Amino acid sequence: MYQQTTLTLAVMVLVFAISSWKLKSAEISMVITAIAGALVAGFGFPIRLLVEGTFTYLDLALIFVTASIFINLYSETGAVNALMISIVDRFYKNKWILFSLMVIIMLIPGALTGAGSVSIFVVGGMVAKIMQFMGISKARTTGFVYVTAMLAAAAPPINLWAMLMAAQANMPYVGFNIILIVPILIIAAFAVIYFGRGGTPQKKEDILAQIPKPPRELTYIRIILPLATLLALFILSQYTAFSIPVIGLPLMFVICAVVSMLVNPKKTSLRRYYEVVINTMEQVFPLLATVISVGVLVNIMTGTGVRGLIAITFITLPVIFIYSTVLIFGPFAQGSLSYGSAVILGTPIIFLFNSMGVNVIVVTAALSLIFPLGDCLPPSRIVGRVSIETVGYEGNYISFLRAIAIPWLFMGGVALLMLIFANKLSFLVIY
């Protein structure tokens, strides 16, 4: 049985490597790999397992879709442009505050949707223009957009890597807010200093002229109300969980999307709202495809015993091996398997540290900062490619990697320290 499972794993690795090389698609490669693994294991063509796998992470897919629709409907009101204009107008003379506030604006869409690419789609282009008008080169601007998008994806409340690992390890997704916010703020501060140094800004009027003007009727109450509604729903669900019905994140985002439509000062037609929703689905389709294909692969790996084999192998590894290699295999696994890296490699590591009596919430948070580092690595390079396209960077991809190398290593170093000193950081785990 052990030999059969080992053979199945070897075939799946080989098929995935060939598929990724030939097809240039991690999602299709994962499905083909799952089918190949089932055939080698003697399952035949596993229609039932494939269909079940597509629904494994349906709840996460719903969060992706509803959160992205909310963010884009909120942006449709002109609120994001209003915030940009206000920030530039007030803090033009203090670029460090200006860049810090732009980090926060970049973090919000990704934190609410779990996808850094959404942050780039919604506000990345505007942030890039402001940075370039402030005299920052395109290479550093692209690096800033990429790093903040990575941090946005890892920021609470929606950290997909942590969610996937928590679900597979049968642990509740609670206690992650502070333990994620603290390192993300430290990394963000480093990124602001690294990418924001130097440069000669253009006139404030020229910068403001490039930002689309929001409607005059867009008051601060209209801007704040949708976000305040979301915050209120989060607080109510956490602190009055036994006094109100279970709302769930997808319904929360739907409610906030409706609030955004109600406070919209524009006379937006239903046709325009329909276009926003359709465009949103096109934005999140690659993420949905990834989540579905990961579910298919994980389901087949579980049925064939491959997942158990990987888990046992990791649990028996010396912990020093994890410390010395996690910044290599973690990012490269993300580049190859996308979010599947969290389930296939992250969960066994959680089991290993749990068997040692280490705080697994800190471990999970640390790993959820390591895996996003691979979003710039082949074959997927999802966030890296989107950052380059959004900013219009014309250099080769190697020069882009050089531009982000120092912040990339800093983020990896912070995450590794969290992993090593997990128990000492347990005071940051607040339920």
**Amino acid found at 65:** V
Which pLDDT does position 321 carry in this prediction?
87
Residues 153 and 116 sit within 8 Å (Cβ to Cβ): yes
Please give the pLDDT value at position 1. Answer: 59
Nearest to 166 by CA among 158, 174, 178, 156: 174
DSSP string for residues in 58-74:
HHHHHHHHHHHHHHHHH
User: 137 by DSSP, 3-state: which?
Assistant: coil
Residue-level pLDDT at 363: 93
State how far the Cα of 258 lies from the Cα of 73, in Å rounded to an integer. 9
Token pair of 414 as six digits: 């912070």
The enclosing H or E element of 414 equals helix 397-420
Report DSSP state, residue 395.
S
Q: What is the pTM of this model?
A: 0.79
In 3D space, the residue among 265, 210, 297, 337 whose CA is nearest the CA of residue 78 turns out to be 265
Alpha helices in 305-318 (DSSP H): 306-315
Q: Could you tell me what percentage of the chain is helix, strand and coil, using 3-state DSSP and rounding each to the nearest 5? A: 80, 0, 20
Mean pLDDT by 10 residues, the chain (431 residues): 79 85 79 88 85 81 83 85 82 86 87 79 81 86 92 88 86 87 94 86 79 82 88 81 79 90 85 90 81 82 79 78 87 76 84 88 93 80 79 85 92 94 89 69
Q: How far apart are CA 420 and CA 370, in angstroms?
A: 13
DSSP string, 153-179: HHSSS--HHHHHHHHHTT--S-S-HHH
**What's the CA gap between 367 and 351, in Å, rounded?**
13
Burial class (CB in 10 A: 0-12, 13-18, 19+), 393: buried
CB under 8 Å to 333, separation ≥6 — which residues?
340, 341, 344, 345, 371, 374
Give the residue among 62, 18, 63, 11 at the shortest CA–CA distance from 37: 11
Cβ proximity of 337 and 294 under 8 Å: yes
Instruction: Say what the pLDDT of residue 409 is.
Output: 94
Domain spans of the chain? 5-428
Q: Output the pLDDT for position 380.
A: 63
Q: What is the pLDDT of residue 26?
A: 73
Give the length of the chain: 431
Structure confidence at residue 223 (pLDDT): 86
